[in-house]
Amino acid sequence: MGGLTDDEAFRKTTFVVIDFEATTPTGSPAQPVEVAVLALRYDGEWQETGRGTSLIRPPAFAPVTPAFTAQTGLTAAELEAAPTPAEALGALDRRFTAGTSYLLVAQHAATEANLIYQQRQHCPALARIDLLDTIPLAKRCVPGLINYRLDTLLAYFGIAQPADRHRAPADVAVTAQLFRRLIAVAHDNGEVDSLAGLVKIAGRAAPGNAPVQEELFEIAPQEGE
């Protein structure tokens, strides 16, 4: 009987680990200032199929604060010279190939999902890709931890903390390691045996794919009604 990594749909999927760093202006949605991605496929073993990163210039209403610089090391001067959201996210969006099966992977995927949705005009393809959240997957695979923050999970699996933690490329790299460890546990314990089962546990629909409420539109009666 096959396990998760033997599932054909799982093997046909490209898992794109994604992370944003963002400023959070008062009264406005978070604004991305850095993005990183790392793409993985499994075919008997994990293969990295691509990676990328870019700084992103924040709008004037979302300035870089001293606290943000202290956490990430990113300065206002660096970000003033960065590509615009349209440039950075547009370039990322063009890397997704039509007809390929993708799932985004993120720690606390709601954060990434909301940032992408707010920027969807710049990355329409990315905004339609559903997500996997490593937190509910970790809760299923390693129950009973004190919490499921990234640092806690890294410590549990013995994954070294990167020197530049809280920068998108570093966080993507360790989240990718975490994801691979969780998939190994899910495969070995036999609780998840298919991509569909994985999505049921850890999936999150992209906000851009949310169904439209029919009652918002007037539906013309059909003949005979």
Q: What is the mean pLDDT of residues 16-38?
A: 95
Cβ neighbors of 170 (< 8 A, separation 6 or more) are: 162, 163, 164
Q: Which residue has the tokens 């096959």?
A: 2
**The pLDDT of residue 153:** 98
User: Is residue 220 very low, low, confident or very high in pLDDT (cuts 50, 70, 90)?
Assistant: very low
In 3D, which of 181, 128, 176 has the Cα closest to residue 15? 176
> Does residue 15 carry a pLDDT above 90?
yes
55 pairs with which residues across the strands? Answer: 34
**Which pLDDT value is given to residue 21?**
97
CA distance 58 to 190: 45
Q: How far is CA 86 from CA 15, 51, 120, 168, in A?
A: 24, 19, 10, 18
If you average pLDDT over residues 135-139, what whole number do you get? Answer: 97
Q: Which of the four CATH numbers 3.20.20.150, 3.30.420.10, 3.40.50.300, 3.50.50.60 does domain 4-208 have?
A: 3.30.420.10
Q: For 171-208, what is each residue's pLDDT tens digit?
A: 999 999 999 999 999 999 987 999 999 999 999 999 87
**Predicted pLDDT at 14:** 98
Please write the tens of the pLDDT for every residue from 60-96.
999 999 999 999 999 999 999 999 999 999 999 999 9
Q: Can you give the residue ranges of every domain in the chain? A: 4-208
| pLDDT value, residue 209 | 79
- What 117-120 contacts at long range (C-beta under 8 Å, 24+ apart), as own/partner pairs, is 117/206, 117/207, 117/208, 118/29, 118/30, 119/32, 119/85, 119/89, 120/208
Q: What is the pLDDT of residues 150-166, one digit of tens each?
A: 999 999 999 999 999 99
pTM, two decimals, is 0.91
Task: Give me the numbers of helices (H) and strands (E) for the chain, helices first please.
Answer: 9, 6
According to the model, what pLDDT value does residue 221 have?
46
To the nearest whole percent, how much of the chain has pLDDT over 70?
92
